[in-house]
Amino acid sequence: MHSALNVKMIKLIVANWKMNKTVEESCLLANELKNLLKNEKNVDIAVCPAFTSLHPVSKELKGSNIKLGAQNMHFENSGAYTGEVSPSMIKDLGCEFVIIGHSERRESFNEDDSLINKKLAAALRNGLKPILCIGENWEQRLNEETEDILEYQLLKCLSGIESIKDLVIAYEPIWAISKGNPNQKAATKADAEESHLFIRKVISGIYEEETAKNVRIIYGGSLKPENAKELLSMPNINGGLVGNASLNAKSFAEIVKAAK
Domain boundaries, the chain: 11-258
d(CA 130, CA 109): 19
Q: Output the pLDDT for position 183.
A: 58
Q: Output the pLDDT for position 153.
A: 98
Fold of 11-258: TIM Barrel (3.20.20)
d(CA 162, CA 150): 19
d(CA 139, CA 160): 30
**Would you give the DSSP letter of residue 181?**
-
3-state secondary structure of 248: coil
- What values do phi and psi take at 246, rounded to 5? -85, -5
Q: Output the pLDDT for position 7.
A: 60
Write the burial class of residue 257 (CB in 10 Å: 0-12 exposed, 13-18 middle, 19+ buried).
Answer: middle
pTM of the model: 0.94
Which tens digits make up the pLDDT trace of 120-149? 999 999 999 999 999 999 899 999 999 999
Residuewise pLDDT in 10s, the chain (260 residues) = 454 555 678 999 999 999 999 999 999 999 999 999 999 999 999 999 999 999 999 999 999 999 999 999 999 999 999 999 999 999 999 999 999 999 999 999 999 999 999 999 999 999 999 999 999 998 999 999 999 999 999 999 999 999 999 999 999 998 887 654 555 566 889 999 999 999 999 999 999 999 999 999 999 988 999 999 999 999 999 999 999 999 999 999 999 999 98
Helix or strand run (H / E) with residue 129: strand 129-134
Active site residues: 102, 172
Q: Output the pLDDT for position 186.
A: 67
CA trace torsion 89, 92, 95, 97 (10° rounding): 60
